[in-house]
A and B are shown apart, each in its own frame.
Chain A
Amino acid sequence: MKLEVDGVGKLFQRGKKEIQAVKNVSLTVSEGEFVSIIGHSGSGKSTLLNLISGQLLPTTGKILWNGESIVKKRDYEAAFLRNTLIGHIPQGMGLLSNLTVFDNLQLPFYLSKREGNPTERAYELLRRLGIENLKDSYPNSLSGGEMRRVSIARALINKPKILLADEPTSDLDPENTGIIIRLFQEISREGTGVLMVTHDLSTIGAADRVYQMSHGELVLKCKENITYFHDKEDAG
């Protein structure tokens, strides 16, 4: 399973003003890779993730999932792809407040027609993420770190090929940040690709590849140029 982004650009129209949120971005992410994109707020990171997941259509360029263009797919086809191949951890907490943790976790399973029962997989993820005791809790009673772990567990319910994480450690303390990043490392070692966008420099040491995004443009960075951490064990 390989994600290819080739020369992708996105232009937004705001009244008479045109905003080039993403400019000629190219990158690849394969299964088992941990790729990080670092950049300030407003650099176009989240827009790039939404393009990759098919929620936005690019103005220029191609986005290929295993050689198939997501741009040419109809909305319901792109949604199905997003539901089955991608695990999306949206910015912010992203949990539905009227559902319990357990129900939030299983939600992606029920968004597409599929056979089976997600209960067993849900219990497995609760154990793995260390949130078994929160099964019947509601999001408004959880801490930031707990909510983020629920969000990650939910993204993994359908066994995706690639995980897209949008600012997964924002608003978290260093301890919880470390827990999340170690999780991503484990997930990538198990064969799931991880593409994380963040402005938190302390997390990028864990990634296999780091890009920097600024004013919509993407540039590959050497990890040695990152000043905070030199190896994965120090992340978090």
Chain B
Amino acid sequence: MTIVAFVLVAGSLLSSSMKNGLNSTKQRLGADLMVVPVGYDEGVEGILLKGEPSYFYLDSSIAEEIGNVEGVQTYTTQFFLTSLNQDCCDIPVQFIGYDPDTDFLIKPWISEVYSDDLKDGELIIGSDIVADDNQQLKFFNEKYHVAARLAETGTGLDQAVYGNMNTLMHLFQAAKKAGLAFIDNIDPQQSVSCILIRIRDGYSAEEVTHNIRASVNGVQVIKTKNMITTTAENLGGFISFIYVFAALFVLVAIFMLSIVFSVMANERKREFAILRALGASGKKISKIVLTETLILSGAGAALGTILAGGIILSFNTYIGDRLGLPYLQPAPWIIAIFMGGGFLITVAIGPIAMIHTIARLNKREVYITLREGE
């Protein structure tokens, strides 16, 4: 029973967290298309979905060209930088610089936790990052003030740090001063990492993609819907596996338990025969047996539910990291429903498995015939 409850509750929490993460990714992506340098589509996916820091750059003039492409309603740019796991920095993170004048993705998200405009030198951090007691973080030997922390998204963006473009430029200079060679040939004032596009009504993603490719060289266009679809397919397969496994597990458990209960009833035939002789009806004996089953089921279900909830919820972050997929814990009330539901289903399995045995116990002459072997 403990194992059944564990499988049901853990499976529900895992699948719900993965679905939640996927929905969160859809919300956070926001843009219809992303333009990146050729060959860096996996880099973007790594940042967004897996929290793998990355950096790549385009000439910023491309953004203006893209703005003129037919079908593009609006666009904004972002600048990526990464810190390193070295003395210069508190933690290795992905920096994302955004343009406050054109941004339509990050500002709405930041406004949920920080109502002011982000000042130069201020950072907003993802939910997985923790500032020091003075609300500061050190990057490239410079201290930066943390203005706010974003709510969890279950995506790789939880491990990112956000700042306006001026702050990113400052970070860039600090990185150069710290002697980091990986950004040597880049002029940050003339570079962007990606261009995010909203498509005009009446145009399809395919059309605008075609138009961009026809107008601009050296870029790769990513349909964010495709990114999500691929992730959703991977998740969908995994979630389906969880459901099928849980269902099969429950069926096997019912079958195995029905055999166990039948054997147990057979072992207790003398006891039941005595009770019948003393005046217990078949119904009474069934009630006794059912009560015992419910107690056993309840105890096992409670243990399994508590273990599953405790492990899955406690190791939430670790699981998300290991899966490498969007992973966001559902709201407490949803967790309560899953745990309650898993508990009740497991408790119900006992009596279901007992049906055949109870039917046999209710037969009037079973006790006498049971004892014939004695």
Contacts and interface: CB of A to CB of B under 8 A. Distances in A.
Given A90-B273, A94-B274, A96-B271, A82 B279 contact: yes
A205 to B, nearest CB: 27
Interface string A33-56: 000000000000001001001011
Interface in A38-76: 47, 50, 53, 55-57, 75-76
B364 interface: yes
Contact of B274 (A57, A81, A90): A90
Contacts of B344: none
Of listed A57, A75, A79, A80, residue having the most chain B CB within 10 A: A79
Nearest to B362: A75
Nearest to A51: B368
Given A55-B367, A96-B271, A79 B284 contact: yes
A94 B271 CA distance: 8
Nearest to B275: A111
A76 B275 CA distance: 13
Given A75-B283, A75-B364, A96-B271, A55 B278 contact: no
B279 A84 contact: yes
B277 A90 contact: yes
A41 B116 CA distance: 98
Interface string A152-180: 00100000000000000000000000000
Interface string B353-374: 0000000001011011000001
A79 B279 contact: yes
B281 interface: yes
Nearest to A83: B279
A20 interface: no
Nearest to B276: A55
Contacts of A80: 279, 281
A149 B145 CA distance: 88
Nearest to B273: A90
A206 B27 CA distance: 94
Nearest to A166: B277
A83 B281 CA distance: 9
A145 interface: no
Contact of A111 (B280, B362, B364, B367): B280
Contact of A55 (B283, B368, B374): B368
A111 B279 CA distance: 7
B290 to A, nearest CB: 16
Contacts of A79: 276, 279-282, 284
Given A76-B283, A96-B271, A88 B364 contact: no
Nearest to A54: B364
Contacts of B274: 90, 94-96
Contacts of A53: 277
A108 interface: yes
A111 B278 contact: yes
A27 interface: no
B359 to A, nearest CB: 13
Contacts of A112: 279
A55 B374 CA distance: 17
B269 to A, nearest CB: 13
A107 interface: yes
A225 B58 CA distance: 121
Interface string A94-138: 111000000000011001100000000000000000000000000
Contacts of A84: 279
Of listed A50, A111, A154, residue having the most chain B CB within 10 A: A111
Interface string B77-93: 00000000000000000
Nearest to B271: A96
B276 to A, nearest CB: 6
A94 B277 CA distance: 9
A75 B281 contact: yes
Contacts of A50: 368
Nearest to A151: B274
Contacts of B284: 76, 79, 111
B279 A108 contact: yes
Interface string B254-280: 000000000000000001011111111
Contacts of B271: 96
B278 A57 contact: no
B283 A88 contact: no
B204 to A, nearest CB: 72
A79 B274 CA distance: 12
A50 B283 CA distance: 19
Contacts of B374: 92
Given A79-B276, A90-B274, A94-B274, A56 B281 contact: no
Contacts of B282: 75-76, 79
Interface string B277-295: 1111111100000000000
Interface in B280-322: 280-284
Contacts of B275: 107, 111
Interface of A: 47, 50, 53, 55-57, 75-76, 78-84, 86, 88, 90, 92, 94-96, 107-108, 111-112, 154
8 contacts: A76-B282, A76-B283, A76-B284, A79-B280, A82-B277, A83-B278, A92-B374, A154-B278
Across chains A and B, which 5 residue pairs bring their CB atoms closest together, nearest first?
A83-B279, A79-B281, A76-B281, A82-B279, A108-B278
